[in-house]
Structure 1
Amino acid sequence: MHAVMFAFIVFVPCFFLGVTDSHSSNDLIDIPTAEITEYHTMDVNFRLYTGGGIVSRLSFGVFNQLNVGGSMDVDKLIGSVPPEVRPPVFYFKFRFYDGSDRLPALALGYDGQGYDYNHASGTYIHREKGIYLVATLETLLPNLELTMGANLNFTRTTTRDEAHLYGFAGVDYSITDQGKKVLSIIGEYNNLSRNTDDTILNAGLRFHPAFDLDIDFSFSDIMSPRKTDPERLIRINYRTKF
């Protein structure tokens, strides 16, 4: 059922909006792609979530194929109650293969940022990606990019540290007007494993009002197996040279 809804949300609009010329984004909603921030470019994004919280991330293109940066979660930043600042975490991505017409681009990375903080456990419900390997390839339709990958994160329990291996997959389809990207339809399956309760389905739209500015409107955890309500998210992405 989830697979059918995922296909409907993401693929059906593609046949009504036409074919365009575009490229992949560094991230979809929660999952990375093999795309990187260009050399001498800084990428900053702000993810606004339930309760007035903001997750901000900085990423720098320090070499042609390498990005480094970090992110920080500030809960209740917007509102009347005192904000809760959580420790910053490290981020990097190394694209070691640029891909070809038939083979995907490949990147290895680490992302320490989780989402949906649980005060009772002191951890995030949606765990950080941790170490990941990701592949991105344009296929099936022009400007329809498929992303697949696997990630390994570590959870500390009262008795031991546990490692968890997950898979993820996503799509990004972009629409342009006179050669300028105006809209991307994005969707993803996250935390794929034998435990279906961990699976997360996300989908959304990414608007491109300017070349260096993107604004995302997305839904997280659609049709949750945990019977939770989907979360509405807004993310602002900005790029500049340094």
Structure 2
Amino acid sequence: MKKTTLPVFGVSALAILALTACGGGTTASQESAPATASETAAATPTPAKQYTNEELAGLVGEVKESDGTSRAVVSGQELIAQFEPVRVLTKATIEPAECANLGTLGAYQSIDGSTSAGTTRSKTGDFITSLALTSGVETGLLQASLDKSESQIEACKKVTLSAEGDTMTLTTEKISGVGNVPGTVALKTLMVMPDGKTGAIYTAHAIKDGVLISATASGNNAASGGPEAAGALMDQAAALIK
């Protein structure tokens, strides 16, 4: 079988980063008298709205750049296809193996049966950024995806990608200060290429009223403003979800 070398994967760290910019407890029950029908209805939470692809695309289309312009919108399979350049990296030997989906690189993680829409990748200042919204399934499934993203911060805090003697390393840590959406899970992944060049990818996820919001910002590790760029997208999207 023909092998793919890491230099093919990333001639430069920034080229890869440009392509990859797109990764409660229960309470104890208490004995009480049977509730009346009205009490039962009042205690039942209203299910969160499940948005269609078209509705999500409409929300994404309202997200503005700092100069007031809007980006092109992609949905469904088009959104997933944006991240194929990232998935090329899965041809390498990846350790730990459970990190092979490369969620810490900001690759969009689709959920079976869900709807989705997002922005095309675009450069904002020193960073390539993107936004994705996922809905169409029960909130529990969205939460499971969010929990998986959070668990990968620890499980995938150090990942190596190797092929034919070349190695890239990914180091991931949890960060704060990425937007103001309650419950946001945010991470930074430092990417070191075989030639020593480095890049940083900032990824954030949060759930707002039946929608999983995901944003990424990637660029040179020396550049500042990545968390702010991703956070601005998170905050805008959350404000549009009523």
The reply to whether TM is greater than 0.5 is: no
TM-score, normalised with respect to structure 1: 0.32
Larger C-alpha radius of gyration, 1 or 2?
2
Q: Pick the structure with more strand per residue.
A: 1
Q: Flag the structure with more relative contact order, 1 or 2, with Cα contacts below 8 A and sequence separation at least 6.
A: 2
TM-score (norm 2): 0.32
